[in-house]
Amino acid sequence: MRGAVVGALVVTALAVPAGTSSASASVTRLAPITYTADDGHTETLTPWQGTHVTVLVEATPRRSASVMAALVGKLDSAWSYYQTTTGFTPTPYYSLHGRTEIAEVTSTSCGGAACSWLGFTGVEILRSYFEVLYSGVQSSNQYDQVAFYEFGRNFWHYTAQLAFPNVDPQVGEPVTTGFAVWMRFRSMTAAHVSGAPFNGIPFTTFRAQVAQLAQQYEADPALTFAATLGANRSPGLYGGTDFWASLMMQLATRHGGQKFVSAFFHYASSLPAALTTGDAVTNWVRAASVAACVNLSTVFYDRWGFPRPDGTVTPRPPASTVPEPIGNC
């Protein structure tokens, strides 16, 4: 039996701030298991089980029970936030005792820091990056963003409705990853964690840089959808995925915060499949307008110059001449 609770150690999690979503009251260290990674290699890992997630770690170095309790508790909170906000539960793939597995591995099939599966449970984090996450919690109570971002892959199930179809694979499609970029920030806030530096940049600065992209786009009417989001690019730092996240950050800030975010994704999943990029933008406008309880079409089509349902594009006037519709639910 995988992860048998034999001689298990139950650890009380560190204090969790009020308002944190479903933080684990305790974390259980289970007996080691044989874990088969997605690239086929096997490792002996020790599971630390929470309410929604189980973090599996290498035998060495030895992990502190209190740090693992804090880490698992915060990841539990983030997972709960994703689940409540989207109304979606990922299909079990890498799962242990009904909990998603987050495994520290010595290699990843994706060749990057971490791997996860769209719409399915499971995250694999390369050992060196897990060490960054763990040591940040241990030394300064700061959390690297990697697992919170990867949850955005697990909870993505809006490809048919929101992703831009038929894009050049060499260019890439911004919305799918944009979801993970944006929801990483929101889930970390919901879990009440302090973010560790991102590529050497203080996390609060990094988040502000992403948020600013929407303002940079609005400040320059010469910028177009085709040259930015349509080409998976941003008007400033980073890329199109961050630009999509920035636009959603702006909409949520102006039209209801968390209530807007949850309503947006609950409604988006009911929309028809998009056959063109114009269809995907139409679905985006519809979901945002329903979530805001106000028609936001002038923001998308006039202020931002995004393609209308018939494919036409309106030249962008100065953003200040297109007032923000007032309202939220």
Angle of the 277-292 helix axis to the 258-268 helix axis, nearest 10: 130
Kindly indicate the confidence band of residue 3, based on its pLDDT and cuts at 50, 70 and 90. Answer: very low
Interatomic CA distance for residues 282 and 112, integer angstroms = 34
Phi, psi of 203 (to 5 degrees): -60, -40
Q: Which two tokens stand for residue 185?
A: 């920030």
146 φψ region: left (φ > 0), alpha (ψ -120 to 50), beta (else): alpha
Interval 27-42: pLDDT, tens: 999 999 999 999 899 9
| Alpha helix (H) residue ranges in 141-295 | 146-154, 159-162, 174-190, 203-218, 240-254, 258-268, 277-292
What does the pLDDT read at residue 2? 37
248: left (phi over 0), alpha (psi -120 to 50) or beta: alpha
Which segments of 25-144 does DSSP mark as H helices, in order?
65-86, 127-140
Residue 9 pLDDT exceeds 90: no
For residue 328, name the pLDDT band (cuts at 50, 70, 90). confident
What is the structure's pLDDT at 11?
A: 53
Q: Does the pLDDT at position 73 exceed 70?
A: yes
Query: pLDDT at position 181, please?
Result: 98
CA 229, CA 247: separation in Å to the nearest integer? 10
Give the pLDDT band (50/70/90) at residue 132.
very high
Q: Mapping DSSP to helix (H, G, I), strand (E, B) and coil, where does residue 281 land?
A: helix
pLDDT of res. 113: 87
Residue 1 pLDDT grade (very low, low, confident, very high; cuts 50, 70, 90):
very low
pLDDT one-digit tens code per residue, 290-304: 999 999 999 999 999
The percentage of residues in the chain with a pLDDT greater than 70, rounded to a whole number, is 92
pLDDT at 199: 94
pLDDT for the residue numbered 108: 73
107 compared with 203, residue with greater pLDDT: 203
pLDDT level of residue 170 (50, 70, 90 thresholds): confident
DSSP classification of residue 319:
G
